[in-house]
Structure 1
Amino acid sequence: MKQLRIGIIGAGLRSGIAKYWHNPKGKSVVVAVADKSQERLDQFGEMIKQEVFVTTDYKELLQHPEVDAVAVLSPDYLHEEHVIEALRMGKHVYCEKPLAITVEGCDRIIAEQKKSGKHLMVGFNMRYMPMYQTMKEIIDSGVIGELKTVWVRHFVGLGGYYYYHDWHGASENTTSLLLQKGSHDLDVIHWITGQYTKKVTAFGGLDYFGGEQPNDLTCPTCDIQDTCPEASLHTLTQCAFRKEIDVEDNNMVMMELENGIKASYLQCHFTPDYQRNYTFIGTKGRIENSELEKKVYVKTRKSNSWHEFSDITYEMKETTGSHGGADPKICSDFVELVLHNKQPLTTPFAGRMSVAVGCAATESIRAGGKVMEVSQELSHIS
């Protein structure tokens, strides 16, 4: 195979990455797209600017003889079904995070992938962002000594717009935003430390969004749209204060990783700003990032070595492509995986483990902070 022919399942917001795969004279080309919405299909066609096979039934796409691989970019609760069906039809699969919304769903996917012999890649694009690659390289170099503690603060500005005006606000669709949004950060903690979480305790709440508004209320038809702080008159218009919302809008997670590393992850969806703040503390110093400044700071402490005499600031260079230049890189890695068996920076098991932590933390929250064990043993599925 000299060129990978890709079908897209899900033509929503994330389908914008398809442009990085669509290179008719290069290594990959988009040949098909499936979505239930004709409007989204039309918008996708305008982006690709080339005629492709279009269907509202994803199973028709999987039966198309020219499709070698699929990118599953559908809503979270459909990932398990779409990935498993694609593998059974002999397709290689790229799946957006989270891999599924339950640990058992992830295990079923992994079992199916092993049976199929096809490639499966999870869309953890933060592993491809220069800032987090830089932080990993610094830690791996030993400059801050033996890693002991990780603190992550996630300020989700516009959280209401992105997650409470549509299907994300119901736990039956997401389990929790510790999967949909937090899976990136939980994975980066595992990736940079090189250790998986063993146990977790968490607290959280639905303290701002949700409420008593009718489930069918939309912003354009609401009497208080001019004064409501969360009014949205664009694509996503369901009321952010409707009754069906049951997903926590702020979470505080404490983790114990392998080798005794302690980590915390804090997430809030009603903050004014949008940024992730990571701090890693070792026996010789610490590093901290500033996404807004595009910098990584290394601070050293007394170590009886030359390191204690210098602090270092890393400035991130400008990149091209969405998500800080990560999307074109991760899309390229999927192509290289299928065409040349070149292993990417992520694995299906890593995708499973971020879901496992998110599910355990969610269960802990809803059980009053109960300490939960996180197992690496896959479910026995026949």
Structure 2
Amino acid sequence: MEKLRIGVIGAGLRGGLALYWHKPEGESEIVALADLDEERQQKFQERLGSPIFLTKDYKELLVREDIDAIAVLSPDYLHEEHVIAALEAGKHVYSEKPLAITVEGCDRIIEVWKKSGKHLMVGFNMRYMSMYQTMKGIIDSGAIGELKTVWVRHFVGFGGYFYYHDWHANSDNTTSLLLQKGSHDLDVIHWITGKYTKKVSAIGGLDYFGGDMPNDLTCPECSLKDTCPEYVPHTFTECAFRKEVDVEDNNMLIMELEGGVKASYLQCHFTPDYERNYTFIGTKGRIENDDVNGKVYLKTRKTNTWNEFSDVTYDMKPEEGSHGGADPKIAQDFVELVLRGKEPLTSPFAGRMSVAVGCAATESIRTGGGVVEVSQTSSLIEN
């Protein structure tokens, strides 16, 4: 295979990722799209600048011989169905995170993938961000000694706009935002530490969004739109204070990883700013990121060596492309995986484990905050 021909399922939130695959004169090309909305179909095709096959029925993509791979960019609750169907049809698959919204769904996907002989890649683009690759490199170098503790604070500015004005706000579609939004952070914790989570305890609540407004109310039709702080005029317009909203808007999670590493993850969706703050603490020092200003700080402690004499600040260089330059990198890695068998930075098993932690944490929150064991799996699935 000299060129990877890709069919896309879903032209919504992550549809822009497909632009990085569309290189008609290069090694990859978008040749088809399945989306239920005809207006989205047309806008997607216009952004590509090339005529492609358009349909509302994703199954029409699976029978086309001019499609080698499927990019599953559909809503979370459809990932399991779409990924399994594509693999069973003999297509390679790129799946946006989370891999599924239940552990059982992830395990079904992995079982089908193992039997298919095709490639499956999960869209953990934070692994491709220079900031987190830098942090992993510092830790792997031994600069902070043996890693013991991880603290993560996630301030989700615009949380209402992105998660409470559409399908994300219903647990039937997401399980919870610890699973949906938090799967990135849970995966980064696993990736950088090199350890998976064994057990969790969590508390959380729906303390700002949700309420008693009608489920069919939209912002443009609302009599309170001139004074409502969550009013949005376009794209995602379902009322953020409607009755059906049932996913927590703030969460506090503590985790015990393999090897005794301790971690915490805090997430809030009604903060005024957007920031991910990671701190990794080891026996010789700690590192912390400032993603707003593009810096990573290395601070050392007394070691009776020259290392204790100075701290170090790393300045991230600007990169082109969405998500801090990560999207073009992860798109290219999928091409490399299929065309040349080059293993990417992510894995289906890693995708499964971030979902497992999110599900266990959600169970803990909704049953009183007790300790919940994270669902593990056999080495046959991992390997």
TM-score range, shorter chain: over 0.9
Matches within 5 A, 1:233-248: 233-248=233-248
Equivalent in the alignment of 1:211? 211
Say which SS state the counterpart of residue 126 (structure 1) adopts. helix
Task: Map residues 278-357 of structure 1 onto 2, 5 A cutoff.
Answer: 278-357=278-357
Q: Which residue does 1:178 correspond to in 2?
A: 178
Residue 144 (structure 1) aligned with residue 158 (structure 2): no
Q: What secondary structure sits across from 1:266 in the alignment? A: strand
Shift of 1:185: 0.1
How far apart are the structure 1 equivalents of 2:263 and 2:379?
A: 26
Structure 2 CA distance for partners of 1:128 and 1:379, relative to 1, 3 Å: closer
Whichever residue aligns with residue 187 of structure 1, its letter is D
User: 1:50-199 counterparts in 2 under 5 A?
Assistant: 50-199=50-199
Matched residue of 1:317: which SS?
coil
| Partners of 1:366 and 1:379 in 2: CA distance | 30
- Counterpart of 1:280, as a letter, is F
Flag the 1:378–1:81 CA change in 2: closer, same or farther, 3 A.
farther
Shift of 1:376: 2.0
Does 1:28 pair with 2:25?
no
- C-alpha separation in 1, matches of 2:289 and 2:165: 30
Distance (Å, rounded) in 1 between the aligned partners of 2:307 and 2:199: 34
Aligned to 1:8: 8
Q: Mean Cα displacement is larger for which, 372-381 or 345-354? A: 372-381
TM-score scaled by length of structure 2? 0.98
**How far did 1:378 drift?**
5.0
For structure 2, the 5+ residue unaligned runs are: none
Structure 1 distance, partners of 2:204, 2:13, is 28
Q: Does the 8 Å CA contact 1:34/1:55 hold for their aligned counterparts? A: yes
The AA in structure 1 aligned to 2:279 is T
Quick one: distance in 2 between partners of 1:64 and 1:233? 39
Q: Quick one: distance in 2 between partners of 1:95 and 1:154?
A: 24
Under a length normalisation based on structure 1, what TM-score does the superposition of the two structures give?
A: 0.99
Q: What's the CA shift string for 1:300-356, capped at 9, x where partnerless?
A: 000111110010000000100000000000000000000000000000000000000
- Of 208-217 and 39-48, the range deviating more from structure 2: 39-48
Contact 1:104–1:379 at 8 Å: present in 2 too?
Answer: no
The 3 A distance-change label for structure 1 pair 241 and 372 is same
Shift of 1:375: 2.8
Q: Deviations over 1:95-121 (max 9, x none)?
A: 000000000000000000001010000
Change in 2 beyond 3 A, CA 1:379/1:176: farther
| RMSD, aligned CA | 1.1
Once the two structures are TM-superposed, the CA of residue 380 in structure 1 deviates from its matched residue by 11
Q: Structure 1 residue 39: deviation in Å?
A: 1.1
Q: Which runs of 5+ in 1 are unaligned?
A: none
Contact conserved, 1:214 with 1:243, CA < 8 A, in 2?
Answer: yes
